[in-house]
Each structure stands twice: as structure tokens, then as C-alpha cells.
Structure 1
Amino acid sequence: MKQRIIGKKINIWKWLCLLILAINLAFVGVVASRIIQIREPEAENIATKTKGGIKIGTFSTTKEQLNETVVSYLEDYQKKGMTYKLYATSSQILFEGTYTLLGYEVPLYVYFQPSRLENGAVQLKVTSFSVGTLPLPEDQVLKYIKSSYDLPKFVKIQPNQSTITINVQNLDNEEGIYLKAQTINLVNDDISFDIYKKSE
């Protein structure tokens, strides 16, 4: 009878040891999770955002101001006998130049519809064009512009898609400043760009 009671007796020391071990493991787990946890999650977001560049402002312009800026910028890209203009009209962007055929210069007008791309670039989609009275395909006209005119490096002509992409986000200058198109609404004269500075 005495042996049966001893067999059922609870071993308190065993359970106390297990309880202390569980408390220690829980304590180590809490400390480890606190050490690993990011104290300021906003700082991580800021670091991620600033890898490409830091937004330093936004500027708005009108078609008239934009045209003056483009004319000034493109002065260095004009070649003798191969000059061209790119400017905004009331609702479209117009490329104006000449097409040389058999030694004769034919007036060249290409109309584009501008739009903003996700990466901040400006895409110009051909809507119509005029090469004197010549019936030329759109891709041939764009290939001619690409091969004949001196254009900035950040301008990409895609003849097969009938588009010109102006990668203003790839502007290269000593200050590390570049732009991203925000709004391009020629009809309402609402044109705005975000200004970024490249992070080091």
C-alpha cells in the first residue's frame, strides 16, 4: 500500500525545472525578437525610396514656356542644312523639319500625341504626318528622323511602334538633377514635372 502511494506522488522538482526552462526559452525568444525587429520601419522605407533619387520639388509650366525651353535646349543639336523644331501646339506636339529626296528638300511635319509613362518618361505617339505630297509609311519617316537629325541621347525613336520616347528621367548633368513627367495636358495648358536629385 505504501509503494502505490509513492508511485503516484508528483515529482515537484522535475516540473519546477521544466517551468524554469520554459521561462528561460520564452525570455530568450522575446529578447531575440526585439533585437531583430526594426526599430524605425519608416527609415527602411526612406532608404528604399532614395536609392534611385530624392524628390526635391515639382514645377509647372505652360506650352509657351515649354517651347522656349525646348528651343533653347535643342540649339546645340542643330546641324547646318539639317535644322528642326519640336514644339507644343494647342493639343499636340509638332516636329518640323525637311525630308531630302533626290537633292530636293521637302517640308516634313510630324504630329504626336504626348502621354506620360509610368517611369516618368514622355511618350510621343504619331497621329499624322506630312512629307510634301509623298505617301510614306510612318516607320520610314521615323527612321529618317532617327538617321538624319542630331537628337539628344535620352530621346529614343521606335519606328516599328510609331513612337518617340523622351526619357527626361535620364537627363545627365553635373548636378545630378533629373525630371519625371507628372501631368501633360496640352489642351488645358497643364504641364508639370517632378524634380529629382540622384542619390550618391
Structure 2
Amino acid sequence: MKQKKTGKHNLWKWGFLTLLAFNIAFVGILALRLGTFREPSSHISQTVSQEDVKIGTFKSSRDQLNDTVQAYLKQYQTKTYSYSFKATSKNVMFEGTYTVLGYKDPLYVYFTPVVLGDGSIQLNVDSVSAGTLSLPVSEVLKFIDANYKLPKFVEVDSKKGTLILNLPKMDNKVGLYAKATDFDLVNDKISFDVYKKK
């Protein structure tokens, strides 16, 4: 004799199997999530060991920056040629003297600053004023490079009409250097990230 199939036994059987499948899936997902690391530890240690340590951010106004730069540049002044860099509301100005036929004329070079990806600042020459003389930009930059004592991290490119301030290459006793992040003279927002060399 055959037993009659009733839907009740089949329904309970399928319900039990479905509940069992959900429980197994839940335990499997839970075990998988608990067993995986959020960040690979080798990646974290590589990042820290290859880079210098950021110790803070330095925010400044034009006036504060001018005072800091002038104090830093005191060690680079000579009896023959002294100079200054000043940030104005529109540009960066180099002020010094230019010697022509034995006469010293006031020299003003105006630059537009651009922050580069590595934290350096590129100063592009806008205009040159040497008394009433009209001088080529490349000659003025060659004169500055040859006669003025500039910091080692300042790179003069007379052909392109630029000065590059390689701030990450600054050298000092404590091993600190800066990377420019914002150099907005119009809105008076100047900021640098400060790093400690390893």
C-alpha cells in the first residue's frame, strides 16, 4: 500500500531546510567578516617607513610670511649685494640693485607664484624694473644667480624666466622642511605642511 502524500510533511521539510540554509549562510558570512583584516598591515608599514613624518600645518598671512622670509634671508646678505623678497597682494617682489657701467640702479622683479605638486613654489617672472632701463628677463635672472647669495634650495632658470623654491630640499639642523599647500596672495591665505626628515 502506498501512503498518501500530504503537503504538510513536505512544507515542514522545506521550511526546516530553508532555515538551516539561512543559519549556515549567516555563520559563514560572520566567520568571513571576522577573519578578514580591514587594512593589510604590510601596506601600512611600507607607507610609514618610506615617507617623512608630517608634524603639522603652518598657516600665515602675507605680513607674517614677509617677516619670516626676511629673518631667514639675513644670513644670505653680503656687503656688495643685499636683497629682499616680499609678498604683496598680487605677486612676489624681489628687490635689490643692478650694476650697469659701474652705477647701481634699483632692481625690482615681480613674480607670480604657483604651487607645484611636490610642494615647491614656482615663481614666474611678470615684469622687471631696473631704474629706467629695459632689460631682458633672462639677463636679469642670470645676474641675480651670479651675484646674489641665494639659498641652495632656490633654483634659477633664466631661459624659462622662473625661480623654483624647492622647499622640500631645505636643509637645516633639525631636519624640518615645508611643502606649500596654498599660496593665495589675493585672499591672504598661505599655508604649508611641515615635515620632519627620517
Alpha-carbon separation, structure 2, partners of 1:144 and 1:107? 13
Determine the structure 1 residue equivalent to 2:9. Answer: none
* Aligned residue in 2 for 1:126: 125
Alignment match, 2:62: 63
Structure 2 contact 119–180 (Cα < 8 Å) conserved = yes
> How big is each residue's C-alpha offset from its partner over 1:23-52, in whole Å with a ceiling of 9 and x where there is no partner?
xxxxxxxxxxxxxx9995255245225413
List runs of 5+ in structure 2 lacking aligned partners: 1-35
- Distance, in Å, in 2 between the alignment partners of 1:186 and 1:58 is 18
Q: Which moved more, 1:168-177 or 1:182-191?
A: 168-177
User: What amino acid does structure 2 have at the position aligned with 1:67?
Assistant: N
4+ aligned runs moved over 3 Å, structure 1: 37-40
> Mean Cα displacement is larger for which, 37-46 or 111-120?
37-46
Deviations 1:77-130 (A, max 9, x none): 110031111110111000000000111001110000011000100110001111
Q: Amino acid of the residue matched to residue 77 of structure 2?
A: Q
Q: TM-score, normalised by structure 2?
A: 0.78
Equivalent position of 2:29 in the other structure: none
Q: Which residue of 2 aligns with 1:48?
A: 47
Contact 2:61 2:188 in 1 (8 A): yes
Report the 3-state secondary structure (helix = DSSP H, G, I; strand = E; otherwise coil) of the residue aligned with 1:64. Answer: helix
Residue 47 of structure 1 aligns to which amino acid in structure 2? Q
> Is the aligned partner of 1:139 residue 2:148?
no
What amino acid is aligned across from residue 53 of structure 2 in structure 1?
I
Match of 1:80 in 2: 79
User: What percentage of aligned pairs have identical amino acids?
Assistant: 49
Q: Which consecutive residues of structure 1, in runs of 5 or more, have no partner in the other structure?
A: 1-36
Once the 2 structures are TM-superposed, how far is the Cα of residue 60 of structure 1 from its aligned partner?
Answer: 0.3
Alignment CA distance shift 1:95-1:47 (3 Å): same
Rounded Cα–Cα distance in structure 2 between residues aligned with 1:135 and 1:39: 64
Q: CA deviation at 1:134?
A: 1.7
Once residues 119 and 41 of structure 2 are traced to their aligned partners in structure 1, the CA distance between those partners, rounded to angstroms, is 25
Is residue 183 of structure 2 the alignment partner of residue 184 of structure 1?
Answer: yes
Determine helix, strand or coil for the equivalent of 2:159: helix
How far off its partner does 1:57 sit?
A: 1.0
Give SS of 2:181's match: strand
Distance 1:122 1:42, change over 3 A: farther
Query: After superposition, what is the alpha-carbon deviation per residue over 1:121-165, rounded to whole angstroms, capped at 9, x for unaligned?
Result: 011000111111222111111000000100000000000110000
**Contact 2:128–2:135 at 8 Å: present in 1 too?**
no
Which residue of 2 is the match for residue 89 of structure 1? 88
CA-based RMSD: 1.8
Amino acid of the structure 2 residue aligned with 1:78? Q
Name the CA distance, whole Å, in 2 between partners of 1:178 and 1:46: 23
What is the identity, as a one-letter code, of the residue corresponding to 2:185? L
Whole-Å separation in 1 of the counterparts to 2:111 and 2:41: 42
Alignment of 1:91-110 (within 5 A): 91-110=90-109
Q: Is the 8 A contact 2:157 2:163 kept in 1?
A: yes
Q: Distance in 2 between matches of 1:144 and 1:39?
A: 57
Report the secondary structure of 2:50's partner residue: coil
Find the aligned partners of 2:97 and 2:49 in 1 and give their Cα distance: 44
